[in-house]
Structure 1
C-alpha cells in the first residue's frame, strides 16, 4: 500500500486514540497494514496458521474490484504475521482473463489444493484448482482447465469430513455443492452438482427478493465441522452485507438457519464481508474484512480477526468487530533464532517487497517509521542484536525498544551504505539485558527518503 501520506495521517489518528483508549496499545486490527487484503481463508497446518487472502490493488480500475493475485501470511501466535508475498496470480490459469477473487486452500495427501475463482477468457465465471508441495507455493494449475464454470460460480469453500469425503461449496447469489473425489481435482458425478433450495428457514430472511426468493444467503460460504455439528458461515442480506450462519447434522444439509454473527460494519466497514474460521490451540477465531486502512473502501479492504467462544449449546454468539482484535497471543516469539523482518503485529509506513533471491523483505523505510513485534520472550536476556540489511544510499539507524514505540532503548544498530539495496550485510550491536516477555519495537531513524532494506534479525 503506497500512499504514505495517508498512512502517516492514519498513524497520527491511531496515536490520538491510543492516548484516550486504555486498550489502544493492544490495537491489532486490521492485522495486515502493508497491503489491502480481503476474503480471509485461514488454514492450520503443522502448528502454523496460514492465512490466504485476495489482494485489492492500490489503484482501482473502473471503480470496481481490481484484484490480480493472492497473498499468504503465516503465524504461530495469532498476533505476529509473516508476509510471504504474492504466492500466485490469475495468470497461473492460462484460460483465465483475470479477477482473482475469494478462494480457499486445503492440505491432503502431501499436497496443498487451492480452489480459486476467476473469469474465463470467454467471460464466464469459473473455479480453478492450483496445487503445490508447499503452503506458500509455488502453485500451478492442477488440471489445465476449470474445475467448475457457470454464472455465479465464485467464492469456493472446501472441507474434508472425518470419513475423508471432501466437499466444495460455492456461489453468488445461489449456492451449490459437489462431493470431491479423493484426487481433489475432480468431483463425483453422482449426484454431481447440487443446487441448494434457498429457503428462509434454511438461510434466514431478507426483505428484498433476489432470484424470486427471500432467503438471506448472499455469497462467500465457509464450511466447517465442530464436534458433531456442521456450520456454514456466509455474508448475508445483500449489500451492505452482514455475517450469518446455518448448521446441520450433515455436510450436505438440510441446513437450519442460526442467526447473525456479525452486524453490518458501519464505521470503517466495506459493503462486503467474508468469513473464515479456525480453532487454534484450543481457541476459536473468526476472520473477516473491513475497510479501516487509510484510503480504504469497498474495493480496498483489510483483514481482521476476533477471538470468540461458542455458546454452551454450540450456537455462535453475536461477535462485535473491534480495533483490539486478538488481545492474548497464542504463544511467545523466540528472538534467538532468525526472525524474518516481515514478521510483525503492527507497522507504520514501511512496505514489503519480494524477489526470487531474497524472498520477502522490508523496504521503503523512512525516518520515524516503526515495526511492532508482540510477545517476544527475551528469556534471561540477550547481549547482541544482529540484522541483515542493505542500503544503496545513506543508511540510517534501528532503535531497539521494548513495550512501546518510545519505550526503554535496548540498543541502536548503525546501518551504513552497503553499496546497493540488494547487497545484504549482517550487522550487529550490543543490547542492554532485559528479561521476560515484552513487545519489541524497531524504530527507524535517518535522513530524508528510503533509508535501507531489512531482511531478518535475531538476538544473541
Structure 2
C-alpha cells in the first residue's frame, strides 16, 4: 500500500528505519531504494528482511511504495537484505541484491527484474549471479563469508555493463548484454582501506568509485579515465556520520543538480543497526574532483516538479 509524506530535512524518512540507499531517475521522478533496519532497540546486530522503495518529483513530496522485493523472493536464498543497486535498461529495471545463500555458504548476489521501477520484482535467473566460492577463487581476504555484498552497477556509454562489489576487498566484473550473466573473469580492484559499500558512476569521461573507507567508515573515493583502472585515490568524500559506524554512498543527478545520499543513526533510538537515509548536495571542482560533502540537518531544497512538457531529469 502506497503512503505519501513530506520530507523537509534529514533524515528523509522518519516513520521507519532505512539504510543503504541507491537511486535512479525515471520519467523525471527520483526513486530511492533502501534496506529496512528492523533491529529491536538494544539489539546488537542487523535484522534485514526486506527492501523499500520511495519516490519524489520534487525532493519534498514523497511516496512510499511498500516492499517491492524481499530476499526470500529468491527461492535459493534464506534472507538478509543487504545494500543493493537498481538500474534501468531497455525499459526494464534490474535489482542487484545481496542475500544469504541457502546451500552455498556465505552471501551471494542475485538479480531481480521488473517492468516498473516500483515492482513487483522477480528473480531474473533462478540462481545466484555471484556466490562466495567465486570470490574465494579470486583471492578473498575475509574469513566470515561476507565477500559478496554491496553491489553497484554502471551501464557505460558503449553499452557495456560493469558490476563492482565486495567487503574487505573490491571486485569488478563485466556483465553480458542480458545484464543477468557475467561476461568475463572477476578482477580485484586495488583501493586503499576498502571496507564495503561501493558506488560507481561516470561523468565527463571520469569514472568515480566511492566506497566505505576505514573503520568507522568514512566515504573515500578514487578516479580513473579507464573503468579497469588504475584508480587514483582522491581522499575523503564524506566523514563519519552521526551515531553510526557504517556508511553507503549513492550519487545521482536530478533536476540539474548532483546529490549525495547516505545513512546515519540520527533518529531517536537510532544507531548502528537502526539507520536512516539522508541527502545533501554534491559539488564537482573544475578539475573533476569532488568537494567533501557537507552533511546538514536541513537537507536539500525542494525543486520544481517537472510537468508533461519535460525539463531536466
Tell me if both proteins adopt one fold, taking TM over 0.5 as the criterion: yes
1:55-82 Cα shifts (integer Å, max 9, x gaps):
1015269621100000000011122221
Name the structure 1 match of 2:96. Answer: 115
In structure 2, C-alpha distance between the alignment counterparts of 1:168 and 1:28, rounded to whole Å: 32
Name the structure 2 match of 1:237. Answer: 214
Name the structure 2 match of 1:278. Answer: 252
Whether 1:154 aligns to 2:152 is no
1:375-416 Cα shifts (integer Å, max 9, x gaps):
xxxxxxxxxxxxxxxxxxxxxxxxxxxxxxxxxxxxxxxxxx
Matches within 5 A, 1:29-48: 29-48=10-29
* 289, 304, 312: which one aligns with 1:331: 304
In structure 2, C-alpha distance between the alignment counterparts of 1:259 and 1:40, rounded to whole Å: 22
Aligned to 1:299, what secondary structure does the other structure show? coil
Name the structure 1 match of 2:228. Answer: 252
In structure 1, C-alpha distance between the alignment counterparts of 2:213 and 2:159, rounded to whole Å: 30
Whether 1:132 aligns to 2:114 is yes
In structure 1, C-alpha distance between the alignment counterparts of 2:48 and 2:250, rounded to whole Å: 19
Q: What stretches of structure 1 of length at least 5 have no aligned partner?
A: 1-25, 204-214, 335-460
Name the structure 2 match of 1:390. Answer: none
Question: CA offset at residue 85 of structure 1?
Answer: 1.1
Matches within 5 A, 1:30-429: 30-59=11-40, 63-122=44-103, 123-150=105-132, 151=145, 152-189=147-184, 192-196=185-189, 198=190, 203=191, 215-238=192-215, 240-265=216-241, 268-326=242-300, 328-332=301-305
1:422-452 Cα shifts (integer Å, max 9, x gaps):
xxxxxxxxxxxxxxxxxxxxxxxxxxxxxxx
Q: What is the root-mean-square deviation of aligned Cα atoms in Å? A: 1.6
Task: Give the 3 Å change call, closer, same or farther, for CA 259–132 of structure 1 in structure 2.
Answer: same
Contact 2:8 2:60 in 1 (8 A): no
In structure 2, C-alpha distance between the alignment counterparts of 1:105 and 1:333, rounded to whole Å: 22
Task: Give the 3 Å change call, closer, same or farther, for CA 146–332 of structure 1 in structure 2.
Answer: closer
In structure 2, C-alpha distance between the alignment counterparts of 1:108 and 1:138, rounded to whole Å: 17
In structure 1, C-alpha distance between the alignment counterparts of 2:186 and 2:56, rounded to whole Å: 35
Structure of higher CA gyration radius: 1
Structure with the higher strand share, 1 or 2? 1
Aligned to 1:187, what secondary structure does the other structure show? coil
Q: Displaced runs of 4+ in structure 1, greater than 4 A?
A: none
1:12-47 Cα shifts (integer Å, max 9, x gaps):
xxxxxxxxxxxxxx9510000111000010111121
**Larger RCO (alpha carbons 8 Å, 6+ apart):** 2
Contact 2:260 2:279 in 1 (8 A): yes
In structure 1, C-alpha distance between the alignment counterparts of 2:10 and 2:187, rounded to whole Å: 37
Contact 2:84 2:151 in 1 (8 A): yes
Contact 1:60 1:66 in 2 (8 A): no
Contact 1:223 1:233 in 2 (8 A): yes
Q: TM-score, normalised by structure 1?
A: 0.61
In structure 2, C-alpha distance between the alignment counterparts of 1:157 and 1:103, rounded to whole Å: 7
Question: CA offset at residue 270 of structure 1?
Answer: 0.8
Q: What stretches of structure 2 of length at least 5 have no aligned partner?
A: 1-6, 133-144, 308-313
Aligned to 2:72, what secondary structure does the other structure show? helix
